[in-house]
A and B are shown apart, each in its own frame.
Chain A
Amino acid sequence: MALTHQDIARIANLARLELDSDESERMLSQINGFFDIVEKMRAVDTANIEPLSHPVGVVQDVVLRLRDDVASETNQREANQRSAPAVERGLFLVPKVIE
C-alpha cells in the first residue's frame, strides 16, 4: 500500500513540519521506496512473540527504574534558560495562544 500526497500532508501536520511542494514530492517517493523494504518484516509470523524494548530483557528481567519523586537538583532556572530563544522575567515566551 503506497502513501499518497494526502498521507504526507497528514503526517507532516502530526510531526509539526512544514514541507514545501518539492520536499513533499521527494518525501513521498523516498518514503514509499523505504516501505517497499518493510513488507518482508510485516509478513513475519510473530504470533505469541512478546515485543522487546530493553534488549537485555532477552536474557534477564529488566525493570525500568523509577527514582523517588523528590527534588534532587537545586534551582538553576537561569542556566537552564540561557539557550532559550525568548525569555522574559524567567518565563519562556511563545506566540499568543489564548485571545
Chain B
Amino acid sequence: MTDLHDSTVAELAARLALKEVSAVELARHFLQRAAAHDALGAYLSIDEEVTLQQARRADEALAAGGVGGVPALCGVPIAHKDIFVTRDFPTTAGSRMLEGYRSPFDATAVSNLAKAGVVTLGKLNCDEFAMGSSNENSAFRRVLNPWDHARIPGGSSGGSAVAVAARLAPAATGTDTGGSIRQPASFCGITGIKPTYGRASRYGMVAFASSLDQAGPMARTAEDCAMLLSALCGPDPDRDSTSLDVPAEDFTRSLSGSLEGLRIGIPREFFGEGLAADVRTAIDAALKEYEKLGAKLVGISLPRTELSIPVYYIIAPAEASSNLSRFDGVKFGHRAKQHGDLLDMYRKTRAEGFGDEVKRRIMIGTYVLSHGYYDAYYLQAQKVRRMIADDFQQAFRQCDVIAGPVAPTVAWKIGEKSADPVANYLADIFTLPGSLAGLPGMSVPCGFGEGGMPVGLQLMGNYFAEGRLLNVAHRFQQATDFHARKPQGMRAAP
C-alpha cells in the first residue's frame, strides 16, 4: 500500500469510501507532516482542533452515507492559500496589514469545497496580496523549494505548490492573476489549473486585480485537479458580479478521451531567445511524447506575447491600487499606533502595513489611473488586452490547445532577482498572455532542467475548455511519470 502522503486525492477518496482509512487519521497524518517540515515555510496557520472537528464530521457523513451517498471528496484533507477568507482560520493574504484578521464568512471556493466534504488542514503562505513570482514578498516567512532549499518555490501560490510537492497536503487551492498557479506548480513539479475567468467565484478571495483573479486547484495529478475543480467551480450570481452563468461540470468524465488527431498549437514567440536551453529540451521532449499519443503539432503565432508584460503590469497594479484602498486602518486590519489626524493615520497605517512590492504596485496603479494619464496607460492597456485576446481566437482556428513553457527558466535562487522588480516581471512572460485573455491554463510536470529542478509544460485552451485541457494533461500523465517524482528527503516519516 502506498504511503498515505504519497497517495493522490483520487486514491485517498477511494480509500476513505472503502473505510480503509478515516478522515481523522488522514488529517492527523498530514498535520504531523506539516509540523515536521515546518521549516519549508508552506503553512501560515494550522489549528488542529478545527481540522479534526471537520474530519470527524466527514467520518460521520462517510459512516452514514453508504456507497454513492456521500460526495467523492468527503474526508479528503486539503489546504487553502491564505488569500481565501475563512471563518475558522485567520486570513492574512501574506500581509502585515491583515495580521490576526478573522473573516466573518468563508470564500465561495472554500464553502464549495467544504460542501463536497473536504477537510481544511490550514492556510498556506503566499506573496503579499498575491503580488509576486517568487514568494519572497510574504510578510511572514520565506518559502523554500523542496527540490532545492536554496531556490524560490515560485509565486504567488508558493506555499500551495510546496505543500503539495512536499506531501504536506494532497492538494491545495491557489489563485492565478498573472500565472500564480501555473508558475509555482511548474517550479515545484506539481499540476495546477487556472479555469476560464468567471468560472470560479472570486467572492472571498482577497482582491488583487479583479479582472484577472481566478481560483483553481493545485495537486499532483490532472485527475485530482479535475475532481477538485468540479467542486470548486460554478456560478455565484448573488456574490460575484463577474461570475459567469456556466453550470458546474464533472471534469473527471472527459479525462480519458483519445488524443488522436488533437491539434496542439506551438506559439513560436514562446520558443525564442529568452527560453533557457534546459527548459526547451524538456518541453521539446514532452511535445514528442504528445506526437506519440496521436497529436499533431501546428506552428502558430501569438505576436503580442512581449506586449503582455507592460499591459499586465499596467492593468493589474491599477486594479490593485483601487482594491487596496480599502485598507485604511478603520474597518479591519492594521492601524498605526502613532498618528496625527485622519489623513496622517491613513498614510502611516498603509506605510507600516504594506511591503515594498505592494507599495510599488499601488504607486504605479495610482499614477496610471490619475487625471491626465488614464487614457494613455490604463485605457491603452485595456485596448491592447483585447488585441492579445483576439490573437488567441485567431490561433484557436488552427489548433485545439496551445502548448509551451510555463516559464523561461527553472526556479531561480533565493535573492537572485529580489533587488530588481522588473526582472521578476519579465519572467512572467509566458503566463501573462493567457491571463489577460482570461483563458484556462495548466502546468503539467514534463521533465527536469538545470540543478535537477522541475519543468512545467503549459497547456492553454479556449474559453470553457477545462475538460479538454485536463484530458490532454491526464493522457500525458498516463504515459509519463514526471508528476509522480518527488523531492529528496520527503520520504522520511511521518
Contacts and interface: CB of A to CB of B under 8 A. Distances in A.
Interface of A: 3, 7-8, 11-12, 14-19, 23, 27, 30-31, 33-34, 37-38, 40-42, 44, 46, 49-56, 58-59, 62, 64-67, 72, 76, 79-86, 92, 94-97
B362 interface: yes
Given A50-B383, A62-B244, A17 B425 contact: no
Contacts of B306: 40
B197 A52 contact: no
A70 to B, nearest CB: 11
A85 B345 CA distance: 12
A38 B314 contact: yes
Given A41-B381, A42-B376, A14 B366 contact: yes
18 contacts: A17-B359, A19-B359, A27-B359, A27-B360, A34-B425, A44-B387, A52-B386, A52-B389, A54-B438, A56-B197, A58-B386, A59-B393, A65-B241, A81-B331, A83-B101, A83-B103, A84-B332, A94-B345
Interface stretch (B51-59, B74-82, B335-343): B335-343
A58 B390 contact: yes
Contact of B387 (A34, A42, A49, A64): A49
Interface in B381-412: 381-387, 389-390, 392-393
Contacts of B449: none
A51 B382 contact: yes
Interface of B: 100-104, 196-198, 211, 237-238, 241-244, 306-307, 309-311, 313-314, 321, 325, 328-335, 339-348, 350-351, 354, 359-360, 362-364, 366-367, 370, 376-377, 379-387, 389-390, 392-393, 421-422, 425-426, 436-439, 463
Contacts of A53: 211, 382
A58 B439 CA distance: 11
Contacts of B311: 41
Given A17-B354, A44-B387, A92-B330, 7 more contacts: A11-B367, A18-B350, A23-B359, A30-B422, A51-B385, A55-B439, A83-B333
Contacts of B370: 11, 14
A58 B389 contact: yes
Contacts of A96: 341-342
B299 to A, nearest CB: 23
A41 B332 contact: no
A41 B237 contact: no
Contacts of A34: 313, 364, 421-422, 425
Contacts, number: 178
B316 to A, nearest CB: 12
Contacts of A92: 330-331
Contacts of B421: 30, 33-34
B242 A64 contact: yes
A62 to B, nearest CB: 7
B347 A16 contact: yes
Contacts of A38: 310, 313-314, 377
A44 B380 contact: yes
B104 A95 contact: no
A40 to B, nearest CB: 6
Given A51-B386, A80-B104, A17 B197 contact: no
B385 A37 contact: no
B211 A55 contact: yes
A98 B364 CA distance: 32
A97 B342 contact: yes
A48 B391 CA distance: 16
A18 B463 contact: no
Given A27-B363, A51-B382, A17 B347 contact: yes
A96 B345 CA distance: 11
B380 A59 contact: no
B122 to A, nearest CB: 19
Contact of B198 (A41, A49, A54): A54
A83 B100 contact: yes
B351 A18 contact: yes
A56 B198 contact: yes
B363 A8 contact: yes
Contacts of A31: 360, 363-364, 367
Contact of B328 (A7, A16, A30, A72): A16
A59 B237 CA distance: 20
Interface centre among A37, A64, A83 (most CB of B within 10 A): A83
